[in-house]
Structure 1
Amino acid sequence: MKKKLWSSVVASGLVLSVVAGCSSAPSNNSASTPAATGGQATSASKEQVNLRLYAFDGRDTTYNWTPTIAAFEKANPGIKVELVGLSEKGDTQEATKKLDLAAASGETMDIVMFSDPASYAQRVNLGMAAPIDEFIAKDGNYKEEEEYKVDTHLNGKVYALPGKFNPWYVLLNKDHLDEAGLKVPTDWTWDDFADYAKKLTKGEGTSKRYGTYFHGPQNGGWLEYLKLAMENQPQDSDILKADGTSNLDSPNFKKTLELRVKMEKEDKSAVPYADMISQKLAYRTQFFNQSASMLAIGSWMNTELGGTEKVPLNFNVAVAPFPKNNASDPIGYTPVTTDFVSVAASSKHKEEAYKFVRWYTTEGQLVQGKNVPSWSKVKSEDLTKIIDTILSATKNPEKVDKASLIKTLQVSKASQMVPAASYQAEVYKALNEEFEKLIFGKQDIDTTVKNSQDRTNQIIAANKK
């Protein structure tokens, strides 16, 4: 990689936005820290290979790195892994800045981890990650999109394998469901979701209990809530298509707007957007304080489902899959966050680096035992053990309907990934503004769709000049 390229990246202050609330908090280690010792090379004639792993989160409390790296080294004598943490404050933006600075200064890199699709896609385009298709071909020639629940292809090549698997799902107050005579859904549509929300809404005024709470969009972020009916599609599930053009002519964009307006204005079953903004509401407290009976959110919440010291759990919780548009649609497509684990383009030990990447994203995830893996070959009993471990760290794991959680995680899968465009944040901000005009009654749905399309196309055109 050329220093000039990375110097320009750093100088321009390239810092990609990370989905708020994602559980990928960076490291407590601001400098390189030696990995745990493991097996030694078995042959004196074979030179030991030292790999440097740049992780945005280097803490054992969240990623269990010490035993994980030790297990890899034991299984692969002759390869040592040095962990490099990128932030002391749990700040993914700081981690991204430090990663860019390390690349610009020519530090030795062998394995790099990205915490979100935007960071991954943009740094692939800048040449930080190497394609690993040739190693996959030698390693059984498996299909990445079948071997894992997250498809990491970019421009027809694989530049990373996915680690953890955090799909979005719907949290349910099971006590409220029982009170309303409703079953825990195992396969449902957005129409069903709206019907549940209406039946779960209760009371008036300040003590009113809403059927659901939508935590966005806000400040150009949390756009997941502005594309609900798009995100459950196998392809073209985002605002922009893979070629960078607008996807707002999709009828599912309008369907999302219709759903949001119906639930807030007609059914009055969703917490008002104005309240979310003016009162700076938090999704955790809305759900755990029982102000809202359902919450569509990412499964980084697994570690909090049984309640914590800060946010206790005083009711029973169940989990349902992300809703579909039509009953005949395939179940399980949902937004997903993951770790993108790549071989650094500048590595002099790409084969050994790939060996770690492949091991870490398969067997290593089971050793780590901190997250649900993206590896599709995880056995049910292994998944159950991981969930048991995660829930055991909460205050009241017995209040969580574990069967519904496991079943939801088993059916969940990611849509085809759409590479992030450099102007994506600008588009998101414009769409947020148009949504606010709609939800505050300043324009109708058709006008909102048209204005959103026009502004998005203008931004795209301006960035092509």
Structure 2
Amino acid sequence: MIINKEEVIVRNMKKVWALVLTTAMALSVLSGCSGSQKPEAAAASGSQEQKTEEQKTEGEKTEAAGNSEKETVTLRMWGGVPAEAGPQAACDNFNELYKDKGIQVEYERFVNDDTGNLKLETNLLSGTGVDLYMTYATDVLAKRAGGNMALDLTDLMARDGFDLKQYFGNMAEAYFVDGKPYSIPTKLDQYGIVINKDMFDAAGIEIPTEWTYEEFAETARKLTHGEGQDKVYGMFWNSQQDLTYLFTYLVAQTNGGDPMYLSGTETSFTDPVVVKSVDLINSMMNVDKTSPTHTDSVTQKLSQEGMFLTGKSAMTVGPWMVRSIKDTATYPHDFTTAFAPYPVVEKGQRNYTQGGYGDHLCINPKSENIDAAWEFAKWYATEGMIPVVEGGRVPAANTYNPEEVAKAFLNGAEDHIDLDSAMKILITPADNYAVPSITNHIAEVKKVATEELEKIFIGQQTVEEGMAKAKERADALLK
């Protein structure tokens, strides 16, 4: 489905973004600005003259005694972002704001990989340790909604008049599961290829604003050099984290928000755009040798930070590492990072911008503190995200000041991020997004794709053989 510009929740922000973009290079002075959301002032009653005990009515005395004995609810919030990259500051702000309202929140980080998600789901199913949590992929959201690990928020939204369309526009409904909201989307996702601008400049290559698969592959060939431990790769695909990135970040540019489906009863695994996307990655890994092989990525436990920020690859697949780019103490580097759109098969074939909503905030249905968790979820989505903006997470809600968001995003990155390309690719709202509409057996379909892609990338079968098998297996699940 296409989400037009006027339907995107940030449609009224265009003029502000244009102003920010034209003045972006002057934002270096912002490094001293605070990126944290300041808690609201204390309640006005605190400044009023207090009654003496003798002046209070019996009802007031009883209420005061009840409040003093009331226990504080402590929520346990799980997320995949390191605490120091914004979540802890957001929780601290909430705790200050709600300290007199009987709600506090503690943050626990889980690693967003198979092991980390299994740990989270084990706690969700046991009913202990988690009140609310982040989900980062739509297939995982569907799995958790169907497995009684995410609360249907319909009743809470109706009770409080919390209308997702009011805050997030029509696109919010694209992330419903079976027509029901099991999460609040908190982040506006916009992605692109991450580029070592210094390497591009040294090779005389301009930062692309549009390119084809062949132009992308040729650029990777030009940037690959050296041997052994000294080799610099043109591209790092990060395949050990998720083999299906190619659907989300390559196929979706042309085919839209359901890149693994032709319909609810048929997959797209033999579609020409899919086959060419798989062939691009396979050729770069195993023919051109311009990217580490999937085997090396898995066995050597390679990471984007370990490859890109150490100068071992000139490009990588996704910009969720903005927080690491800023963290030069942990990841020392002196080059500038820029961003480019993902390539498409042929010129003029781009139909969509890869993006939509992410960081889906869910409530554990087994939580004993659902009302308190709901209070935190509403606050975080609509008020509390400024601390995480500095780590590269742009809020999805239309309740934020866009100028404040831009300043927070760029704060501390003036010497390490190319501001012009960051604004264009990551921050300025796009015209249309590739957003999902099909969730039929999505977890099982993704598992099939992963299994067959792995066999392709380690040389056990050809691209055509593997994708034909994937289609046969996955289509059988959908019948």
TM-score, normalised relative to structure 2? 0.68
1:175–1:315 Cα contact (<8 Å) kept:
yes
- 1:305-454 equivalence runs, <5 A: 305-306=325-326, 308-325=328-345, 326-330=347-351, 332-334=353-355, 338-342=358-362, 354=374, 356-366=376-386, 369-371=389-391, 372-375=393-396, 377=398, 378-389=400-411, 391=412, 398-410=415-427, 411=429, 415-416=435-436, 419=439, 421=442, 423-424=444-445, 426-436=447-457, 440=459, 443-454=461-472
1:176 corresponds to which letter in structure 2? M
Paired-residue identity, %: 19
1:72–1:356 Cα contact (<8 Å) kept:
no
2:310 corresponds to which letter in structure 1? N
Q: Could you tell me how far apart the structure 2 residues matched to 1:455 and 1:230 are?
A: 20
Deviation at 1:236, TM superposition (A): 4.6
Which is bigger in relative contact order (C-alpha 8 A, separation at least 6)?
2
1:103-137, CA deviations, whole angstroms, 9 ceiling, x for partnerless residues? 6xxx995x554454344322322344123388379
Residues 228 and 169 of structure 1: CA distance in aligned 2, closer, same or farther (over 3 Å):
closer
2:194–2:317 Cα contact (<8 Å) kept:
yes
Residue 234 of structure 2 corresponds to residue 211 of structure 1: yes
2:473 corresponds to which letter in structure 1? R
Residue 85 of structure 2 corresponds to residue 68 of structure 1: no
Residue 102 of structure 2 corresponds to residue 83 of structure 1: no
2:417 corresponds to which letter in structure 1? V
1:177–1:184 Cα contact (<8 Å) kept:
yes
Match of 2:165 among 133, 142, 149: 142
1:249-286, CA deviations, whole angstroms, 9 ceiling, x for partnerless residues? 33222021221244345554333445445655433232
Match of 1:304 among 321, 324, 328: 324
Match of 1:257 among 260, 278, 288: 278
Partner of 1:97: 122
Partner of 1:14: none
CA-based RMSD: 4.3
SS state at 1:342 partner: strand
SS state at 1:269 partner: coil
Q: Which moved more, 1:47-56 or 1:203-212?
A: 47-56
Q: Could you tell me how far apart the structure 2 residues matched to 1:362 and 1:429 are?
A: 36
Partner of 2:315: 294
SS state at 2:314 partner: strand
SS state at 1:210 partner: coil
1:86–1:95 Cα contact (<8 Å) kept:
no
Residues 113 and 178 of structure 1: CA distance in aligned 2, closer, same or farther (over 3 Å):
closer
Residue 139 of structure 2 corresponds to residue 122 of structure 1: no
1:320–1:404 Cα contact (<8 Å) kept:
yes
Q: Could you tell me how far apart the structure 2 residues matched to 1:229 and 1:307 are?
A: 28
Q: Could you tell me how far apart the structure 2 residues matched to 1:193 and 1:232 are?
A: 15
Deviation at 1:171, TM superposition (A): 1.4
Deviation at 1:87, TM superposition (A): 6.5
1:452 corresponds to which letter in structure 2? A
SS state at 2:104 partner: strand
1:374 corresponds to which letter in structure 2? P
1:227–1:252 Cα contact (<8 Å) kept:
no
2:468 corresponds to which letter in structure 1? K
1:38–1:73 Cα contact (<8 Å) kept:
no
2:216 corresponds to which letter in structure 1? F
Q: Could you tell me how far apart the structure 1 residues matched to 2:341 and 2:301 are?
A: 27
Q: Could you tell me how far apart the structure 2 residues matched to 1:229 and 1:203 are?
A: 28
Q: Could you tell me how far apart the structure 1 residues matched to 2:275 and 2:342 are?
A: 18
Partner of 2:224: 201
Unaligned runs of 5+ in 1: 1-35
SS state at 1:163 partner: strand
1:163–1:340 Cα contact (<8 Å) kept:
yes
SS state at 2:394 partner: coil
1:181-226, CA deviations, whole angstroms, 9 ceiling, x for partnerless residues? 222223444343223223323456664433212222x4x9432146
Q: Could you tell me how far apart the structure 1 residues matched to 2:406 and 2:377 are?
A: 24
Deviation at 1:101, TM superposition (A): 1.2
SS state at 1:100 partner: helix
1:56–1:92 Cα contact (<8 Å) kept:
no
Q: Could you tell me how far apart the structure 2 residues matched to 1:316 and 1:267 are?
A: 26
Q: Could you tell me how far apart the structure 1 residues matched to 2:199 and 2:328 are?
A: 21
Partner of 2:22: none
Deviation at 1:302, TM superposition (A): 0.6
Q: Could you tell me how far apart the structure 1 residues matched to 2:336 and 2:242 are?
A: 30
Q: Could you tell me how far apart the structure 2 residues matched to 1:200 and 1:118 are?
A: 35
Q: Could you tell me how far apart the structure 2 residues matched to 1:226 and 1:368 are?
A: 27
Deviation at 1:418, TM superposition (A): 5.1
1:66-104, CA deviations, whole angstroms, 9 ceiling, x for partnerless residues? 433146538xx8x5433255579994432332222126x
Deviation at 1:292, TM superposition (A): 1.9
TM-score, normalised relative to structure 1? 0.70
Deviation at 1:338, TM superposition (A): 3.3
